[in-house]
Amino acid sequence: MITVNGESMEWEEGMTVQDIIERKKYTFPLLAVWINEVAVPRDEFGSTTIPDESKVQVIHMISGG
Amino acid sequence: MREEISKGHLTISKGGNRKMEKMKVLAEWSYEPAKPHRGYTGKTLKVNVGEKAFEAKDVTEDMKEKFVGGRGFDLKLLWDSVKETTKWDDPENELVFSGGPLCGITQYPGTGKFYVAFISPLTEQTYDSNAGGHFGPLLKFAGWDALEVQGKAEKDVIVVIDADEGKVQILESPFTDINAYPVTKALYDYYGDPNDINDRKHISVISTGKAAESTFWGCLNSSFWDVHRKDFRLKQAGRGGSGTIFRDKKIAAIVVKTHNLSGTANDPVDVETLTKLGHKVHKEIFTLDAKQCKMTTVGTSHLNEIMNEYHILPTHNYKFGQHPEADKIHSDVYKTWFSQGLPDGCWYGCTLACAHAVDDFELQTGPMKGTKVIVDGPEYETAAGLGSNVGVFDPHWTIESNYYADYYGMDTISLGTGLAFVCECYELGYLTKEHTNGLELKFGAMKDLMELIHRMGEGKDEFAKIVGLGIARMKDIFAEKFGAPREMLEKIGMEGQGIEVSEYVCKESIAQWGGYFLTLKGPQHDEAWLIFMDRVNKQLPTFEDKAEALHYFPNFRLWFSLVGLCKLPWNDIEPADNATAYPPQEAAKVPEHVQNYVDLFNAVTGKNIDKEELIRQSERVYNFQRVFQLRLGKGTRKYHNIPDRALGPVFSDEWEARAEYYNNELKQGGVDPEGLSTEEKVAKLNKIRREQWEKLVDTVYRRRGWDRNGIPTVETLKRLGIDYPDVVAVVEKNAKPEDQWKD
């Protein structure tokens, strides 16, 4: 089990940051991701796997309309 | 592009004005334009159109220190000119315009804004609104850090500030058609060099339109000369009813004209730093915008699909945040309407260039039917307000209504939200064709909705006039005269403090309740936009976290209004490493760009502020404006109200559209939804959310240094250095011992 933005999500072997983004239907282009407080570069979302028990933060970099 | 239509404007056909003869001078005053030095000219101008009087005032060091410029100067000058009893249509009410010390620099994007402050007909307290275009910079380069316009003329006038001739004039207006496009066109023709079309870049015109005479949604149009199209464009200070005051004062236009225009006209102390900072951000835009927000190709319309995907796009008077037809208003669709490849900045040096336009748009209705025009926008707010929120998913209709809102001088946001409220009232049976004078105002009824806009523009139809008074007054009239149920109108009328909500669904974000409804002047998103931070990112889990965000962001964002900047280059483009260089909470502030602003301010003014002082500069003006509202009889807790529709679902279909989410919310509130009817669930969630709202209000007030009644404490005024005797006196007169926090 992992948490994504504080909510529980089933962990699967080999799941990547990109998998999480798609599962959560996060379509916003300016996403920033931290796994256990460590930032993941945007161009590595598809290749970075998530360890079990991770705390994942997917932050939408928008704070203004 | 508008050449043929321009010819039309020169005749009396198509609602235009006859070619102008020399205008009659009613009053004239000579001056020596002060040159800006380190961002300030040190002078402000007051024009009283009723008394035909002119006055120059000095800008004091204390004024610069405490109020900085822009909206700060506006509010200070307004404070000194009105009384606690002043109403929006009293002669002493003013329209005060100011850019601010960074306004007009050309090295950094988004530096052409002016801010206008006034006592609003909608909210009956101070309001401030802003626009791009060239008016703000040209006003300063004409010698003035601010312009106060006071009084009421006997008949229509034009105010002209001509720095080239060193004179300010009040002229008799020759216009029979005071709508924005014909007035602006005629004045460019009148003042422009006939031998050099692009010399008109030294001219800017403020205008409104006919709707400003009969509605409270009157906006101000601010022009700039587009040297690529060889035609003028209009940007709008839309919100609050400034255009309504403009016409109440019988002003047809304000013209500013100066040839003192260069990249260093502000006489900044450190041009090298300005250039360096500008290069850095221009490079970000060139290399990253296409992968980020696509501002240079579609502007803020990129938000259309994002808001829809996250249940934030208002549809059908904010009932829903998503709609199956939203693909029809996707930014890819708007991109096909916007002319591409043109540098669409509304002031020099803005490479973000989001001021997109639809060229050669053939109007299908109204007084300009059949002509081809340039339409500025629509931006996101207009695409949503005069689109999804009224149940319309047809860009052609939205573009046409956008054009006519500008033409008639109406705020597209209040217009969109107001029409959405009317549509829902009609569909609920609170309004009939008898009330609407024959119009069937259902959601998506494009023909009749457009007809209503034209009736508002003409100012003749009684129902159209009622609509133009805004939702707060519509609720009274619909209940008292039409017999509509008051309780329901209060639930679904999306306004706060008298003004309509801008175009985001906030019912799933507690923090954004505050971002809209715990604001200085009503639910406009210029203070805080926290929906993603709060609801999606879950970065604000506690009420204290939300209150901290509702302290920081309103104060940070207010700063743009002090110095003359546009907010968009702050976070609609971000450095490539923003997300990896900072922890999540800090990254949301785009720290490198905040530092850019600190450095820009210091490089122009020669001062030495840091990020903390930047926030204090804003906090002073924020609290000053709060006390100003109090002085005008508002500014207390009871005016921070929120309609049920903003808190959550009002009707069962709203619940069912997001049933899983709302059922979960009930469970988190300690209520088992099992076995409850949808109506019961709606009522129980509303009760929970009302309690959450009150807790949010308490927590935010404490964080802001206000008492339980929302009044800044004297200690807060002292901490900020704005404990002027007359300011303290207002607080002491209104603060009560029982409202002070006990611990």
Helices (H) and strands (E) in chain A, counts: 1, 5
3 state DSSP class of B9 = helix
Which residues are CB-contacts of B72 (< 8 A; sequence separation ≥ 6)? B66, B100, B561, B562, B617, B620, B621, B624
Chain B contacts in chain A segment 5-64 (CB below 8 A): 5-7, 25-34, 37, 39-42, 57-64
- Asked whether the beta carbons of B70 and B99 are under 8 A apart, the reply is yes
- pLDDT at position B631, please? 98
- B35 forms bridges with which residues in the sheet? none
Q: Which residues of B419-447 are buried (b: 16+ CB within 10 A; e: fewer)?
A: bbbbbbbbbeebbeeebbeebebebebbe
Q: Is-contact B2 B230, C-beta < 8 A? A: no
Which chain B residue has the Cα nearest residue A59? Answer: B537
Find chain B residues with C-beta within 8 A of A60's C-beta: 532, 536-537
Q: What percent of chain A has pLDDT over 90?
A: 77
**Is the per-residue pLDDT at B708 higher than 70?**
yes
| Antiparallel, parallel or unpaired: β B157-162 and B251-257 | parallel
B357 in helix, strand or coil?
strand
- Rounded to the nearest angstrom, the minimum Cα separation between A7 and chain B is 9
Question: Could you give the residue ranges of the DSSP H alpha helices within B266-357?
Answer: 271-288, 295-298, 303-309, 331-337
Looking at per-residue pLDDT, the higher value among B637 and B6 belongs to: B637
Q: What residues contact residue A63 under an 8 Å CB cut-off, 6+ apart?
A: B529, B530, B532, B533, B553, B571, B588, B589
- What tokens appear for B219 in the block? 């906006």
Q: Among candidates B562, B707, B693, B699, which has minimal Cα distance to B630?
A: B707
**Residues on chain B touching A6 (C-beta within 8 angstroms):** 538, 541
Distance CA B298, CA B295 (A): 5
* Angle B701-B721-B719 from CA coordinates, rounded to 5°: 45
Which residue of B322, B525, B535, B537 is the best one to mutate when testing the A interface, meaning the one whose CB has the most A CBs within 10 A?
A: B537
Cβ partners under 8 Å of residue B483, min gap 6: none
Give residue B144's Cα distance to chain centre. Answer: 23
CB-CB under 8 Å, B303 with A32: no
**CB-nearest partner of A65 from B292, B525, B590:** B525
Computed over every residue of chain B, the mean pLDDT equals 95
Q: Across the interface, do B579 and A37 touch by the CB < 8 Å criterion?
A: no
Tell me the chain A residues in contact with residue B305 when contact means C-beta distances shorter than 8 Å.
27
Mean pLDDT of B195-208: 97
Size of interface A-B (CB pairs under 8 A): 83
Which residue of chain A is at minimal alpha-carbon distance from B550?
Answer: A63
DSSP B533: I
Q: How far apart are CA B690 and CA B669, in angstroms?
A: 12
Residue B3 pLDDT greater than 50, yes or no: no
Q: Do B588 and A63 count as a contact with CB atoms less than 8 A apart?
A: yes
| CA-based nearest distance B407→chain A, Å | 25
Whether residue B556 contacts residue B549, with contact meaning beta carbons closer than 8 Å, is answered with: no
Whose tokens are 């040096």? That residue is B349
The answer for B 317-336 residues in CB contact with A (under 8 A) is: none
Q: What is the mean pLDDT of residues B34-39?
A: 98
User: Tens digits of per-residue pLDDT, B385-419?
Assistant: 999 999 999 999 999 999 999 999 999 999 999 99
Neighbours of B296 (CB within 10 A): 20
The conformation of residue B535, written as its DSSP 8-state character, comes to I
Is B293 an interface residue toward A (CB < 8 Å)? yes
Q: Do A5 and B529 touch (CB under 8 A)?
A: no
pLDDT tops 70 at residue B567:
yes
Residues on chain B touching A30 (C-beta within 8 angstroms): 292-293, 574
* A27 alpha-carbon distance from chain centroid: 12
**Residue pair B329/B274 in contact by the 8 Å Cβ criterion:** no
Percentage of chain B lying above the pLDDT 70 cut: 97
Only one residue has tokens 């009239």, namely: B477
What is the reported pLDDT for A62? 78
pLDDT band at residue B10, thresholds of 50, 70 and 90?
Answer: very low
Instruction: Say yes or no to pLDDT of B9 above 60.
Output: no
Segment B452-467, tens digit of pLDDT? 999 999 999 999 999 9
Nearest to B574 among A6, A30, A34 (CB): A30
Residues of chain B in contact with residue A20, where contact means CB-CB under 8 angstroms, are none
Indicate the residue of B291, B529, B578 with minimum beta-carbon distance to A64.
B529
Residue of A nearest to B582 (CA): A39
* Pairing, β B251-257 against β A2-4: unpaired
Would you mind telling me the total number of residues written for chain B in this entry?
A: 743
Which chain B residues have a beta carbon less than 8 Å from that of A25? Answer: 309
For residue B525, the one-letter residue type is H
CB contact under 8 A, A58 and B537: yes
pLDDT number for residue B309: 95
Q: Does residue B730 have a pLDDT over 90?
A: yes
Query: Residue B584's pLDDT is what?
Result: 84
Residues in chain B closer than 8 A to A58 (CB atoms):
537
Model confidence at B16, pLDDT cuts 50, 70, 90, reads low
Note the pLDDT of residue A63. Answer: 64
Binary contact (B538, A7; C-beta < 8 A): yes
Asked if A29's CB is within 8 angstroms of B570's CB, the reply is no
Distance (Å, rounded) from C-alpha B468 to C-alpha B16? 24
Two tokens at B183? 């007035």
Q: Is the pLDDT of residue B585 over 90?
A: no
CB-side exposure of B438: number of CA atoms within 13 Å? 4
Rounded alpha-carbon distances, angstroms, from residue B204 to A15, B221, B255, B346: 57, 10, 6, 12
Cβ of B291 within 8 Å of Cβ of A29? The answer is yes
Measured in angstroms, the CA of B307 and the nearest CA of chain A are apart by 9
Report the gap between the CA of A13 and the closest CA in chain B (Å).
24
Please compute the mean of the pLDDT values over residues B91-105 and round it to a whole number: 98
CA B235/CA B387 separation, integer angstroms = 20
Query: Phi, psi at residue B632, to the nearest 5°?
Result: -90, 10
Q: How far apart, in whole angstroms, are the C-alpha atoms of residue B237 and residue B98?
A: 13
Residues of chain B positioned with their CB less than 8 A from the CB of A39: 579-581
| Angstrom distance (rounded) from CA B111 to CA B567 | 10
C-alpha radius of gyration, chain B, whole number: 24
Residues 6 or more apart from B149 whose CB is under 8 A from it? B46, B47, B49, B94, B95, B96, B97, B159, B249, B251, B254
Question: For residue A39, what pLDDT is reported?
Answer: 92
Given a cut of 80, whether residue B169 has pLDDT beyond it is yes
ipTM exceeds 0.90, yes or no: yes
- Do residues B252 and B221 make contact, with C-beta atoms less than 8 angstroms apart? no
The per-residue pLDDT for B12 is 33
DSSP codes joined into one string, B543-607: HHHHHHHHHHHHHHHHHHHHHT--SHHHHSS--TTHHHHS-HHHHTT-HHHHHHHHHHHHHHH--
CA–CA separation, B227 vs B201, rounded Å? 7
- CB distance B504 to B312 below 8 Å: yes
Task: Give the other-Cβ count within 10 Å of B267's Cβ.
Answer: 15
Nearest to A28 among B306, B381, B587 (CB): B306
Q: Which is nearest to A61 in space by CA: B137, B580, B620, B556?
A: B580
- Are the CB atoms for B150 and B88 separated by under 8 Å? no
pLDDT tens track for B282-334:
999 999 999 888 999 999 999 999 999 999 999 999 999 999 999 999 999 99
pTM attached to this predicted model: 0.96
Q: Which residue of A has its CA nearest to B553?
A: A63
Tokens representing B273? 């730093």
Percent of chain B's residues with pLDDT above 90: 93
- pLDDT score, position B13: 35
pLDDT-based confidence at residue B21 (cuts at 50, 70, 90): confident
Average pLDDT over residues B211-237: 97
Taking phi over 0 as left and psi of -120 to 50 as alpha, with beta for the rest, B617 belongs to: alpha
Other Cβ atoms closer than 10 A to B567 = 20
Cis preceding-peptide flag for A51 (omega within 30 of 0): no
Which residues are bridge partners to B206 per DSSP?
B222, B254
Q: Which residues of B touch A63 (CB under 8 A)?
A: 529-530, 532-533, 553, 571, 588-589
- Given a cut of 80, whether residue B90 has pLDDT beyond it is yes
The whole-angstrom separation of Cα B512 and Cα B273 is 36
pLDDT at site B17: 66
Nearest CA in chain B to A36: B583
Check CB contact of B525 with chain A, cutoff 8 Å.
yes
CB atoms within 10 A of CB B612: 9
Helix and strand element counts for chain B (H, E): 32, 17
Q: According to the model, what pLDDT value does residue B4 have? A: 37
Whether A59 sits inside 8 A of B529 (CB atoms) is no
Pair B149, B256: CB distance under 8 Å: no
For residues B372 and B696, give the distance between their C-alpha atoms in angstroms, rounded to a whole number: 50
pLDDT at A64 over 90: no
- Closest Cα in chain A, distance from residue B581 (Å): 8
Chain A nearest CA to B532, separation (Å): 6
Going by C-beta distance under 8 Å and a sequence separation of 6 or more, which residues neighbour residue B60? none
> Does the beta-carbon distance from B538 to A42 stay under 8 Å?
no
Asked if pLDDT for residue B487 goes beyond 50, the answer is yes
**Sorting pLDDT into bands at 50, 70 and 90, what band is B743?**
confident
Q: Taking residues B249-254, what's their average pLDDT? A: 98
One-letter amino acid at B116 equals: V
Q: A65 at the B interface (CB within 8 A)?
A: yes
**Which B positions 362-391 lie with beta carbon below 8 A of chain A?**
380-381
- The secondary element (H helix, E strand) that includes residue B435 is helix B433-436
Contact A30 B292 (CB under 8 A): yes
How far apart are the two ends of chain B, measured CA to CA in Å?
66
Taking 90 as the threshold, does the pLDDT of residue B68 lie above it? Answer: yes
Count of positions (residues) in chain A = 65
Structure tokens of B337? 């309407």
Q: How far apart are CA B8 and CA B479, in angstroms?
A: 45
Cβ contact, residue pair B533, A27, below 8 Å: no
- Which residue(s) pair with A26 in the sheet? none
* Least CB–CB distance from B532: residue in A27, A34, A62: A62
User: Residue B129's beta-bridge partner residues?
Assistant: B116
Can you tell me the distance from the alpha carbon of A37 to that of B57, in angstroms, rounded to the nearest whole number? Answer: 55
**Residue B249 phi, psi dihedral angles, 5° rounding:** -85, 0
pLDDT higher than threshold 90 for residue B377: no
